[in-house]
């Protein structure tokens, strides 16, 4: 990939409206010979920025993304502030040669910490105690589950999965992982390929969904898979809602096929008010917040800045999409 100065002057970079003026100023100070343009919420590109070749994307719906591409047809690189590519890899984008990069090494720590919070809350039945507190009821269960010696199965052994494995292992859990190309990894006792999914499900006391949403993983976990799990097992999903068949998950939770779930992602977001997940007593619902941390934007801009330097020098970019077909 090469970047050259256009007839209108220095190369132009578009930023989605979710970024602020402060971000534009910060990048402009670091790259004084680059033009940065903050887009409106509509994604419409001002005429003077129609020569833009780069889009820095954050919280940008697909229709707004397409509006930006219409207004700047020369875009050849999109960097997304998300950990996954599905927010940007639309059929239209997939059909182009636009290089896609993601924020790879920023969100893994806050997400892994959030997994720990949900897992501990489920194992220690905190939702029940919070309900009792609200009702001023003093009631002790016969016992609580310990994580030490239990088995955690993590579907997806990327940066987020590895950060989660390290923390769960430190709590004394046996940690199994699943990766498309299995290999020994720190924090995991064993990493299996996709053909080991049944083993992970059957042995899991805690199942963590941390894989990207791709044609291979969409609806990967449904009625048949839930039936293979222990009735005492709990699930934490911080990946994408569509990795599981949501109606099958609801049925498994209602009938006691599995014991509980901590869900930060859903098939439809925001989660509709009439969705049955809201009212299930063995479910923790959080509004897709596992990635949030005060340091995220500065760290993400550091990653983007390093890639922008490489882009301006005509070098290959870091954390680029490897396969449009696989989605990661």
List the catalytic residues.
Answer: 240, 269, 288
258 within 8 A of 234, measured Cβ to Cβ? yes
Is there a contact between 292 and 304 (Cβ–Cβ < 8 Å)? no
CB atoms closer than 10 angstroms to residue 249:
27
DSSP readout, 211-255? ----TTTTT-B-HHHHHTS-TT-EEEE-S-GGGB-HHHHHHHHHH
Put residue 256 in one of left, alpha, beta given phi > 0 → left and psi -120 to 50 → alpha: left
Strand order in the sheet with 99-102: 35-38, 12-15, 54-57, 77-80, 99-102
* Pick from 121, 112, 159: nearest CA to 261: 121
3-state DSSP call for residue 69? helix
């Amino acid at each position: 990939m090469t970047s050259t100065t256009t007839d209108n002057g220095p190369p132009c970079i578009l930023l989605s409206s979710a970024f602020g003026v402060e971000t534009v100023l910060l990048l402009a100070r670091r790259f004084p010979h680059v033009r940065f343009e903050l887009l409106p919420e509509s994604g419409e590109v001002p005429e003077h920025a129609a020569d833009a070749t780069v889009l820095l994307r954050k919280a940008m719906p697909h229709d707004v993304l397409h509006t930006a591409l219409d207004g700047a047809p020369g875009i050849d690189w999109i960097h997304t502030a998300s950990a996954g590519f599905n927010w940007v890899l639309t059929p239209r984008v997939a059909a182009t040669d636009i290089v896609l990069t993601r924020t790879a090494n920023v969100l893994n720590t806050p997400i892994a910490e959030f997994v720990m919070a949900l897992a501990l809350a489920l194992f220690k039945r905190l939702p029940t105690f919070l309900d009792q507190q609200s009702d001023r009821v003093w009631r002790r269960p016969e016992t609580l589950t310990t994580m030490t010696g239990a088995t955690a199965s993590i579907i997806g052994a990327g940066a987020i999965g590895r950060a989660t494995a390290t923390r769960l292992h430190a709590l004394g859990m046996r940690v199994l992982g699943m990766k498309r190309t299995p290999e020994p990894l720190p924090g995991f006792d064993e990493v299996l390929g996709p053909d080991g999914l049944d083993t992970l499900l059957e042995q899991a006391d805690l199942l963590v969904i941390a894989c990207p949403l791709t044609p291979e993983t969409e609806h990967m976990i449904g009625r048949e898979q839930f039936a293979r799990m222990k009735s005492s097992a709990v699930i934490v999903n911080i990946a994408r809602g569509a990795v599981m068949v949501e109606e099958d998950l609801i049925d498994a939770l209602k009938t006691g096929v599995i014991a509980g779930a901590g869900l930060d992602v859903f098939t439809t977001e925001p989660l509709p008010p009439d969705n049955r997940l809201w009212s299930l007593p063995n479910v923790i619902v959080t509004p897709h917040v596992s990635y949030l941390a005060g340091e995220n934007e500065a760290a993400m801009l550091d990653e983007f800045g390093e890639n922008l330097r490489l882009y301006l020098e005509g070098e290959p970019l870091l954390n680029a999409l490897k396969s449009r077909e696989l989605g990661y």
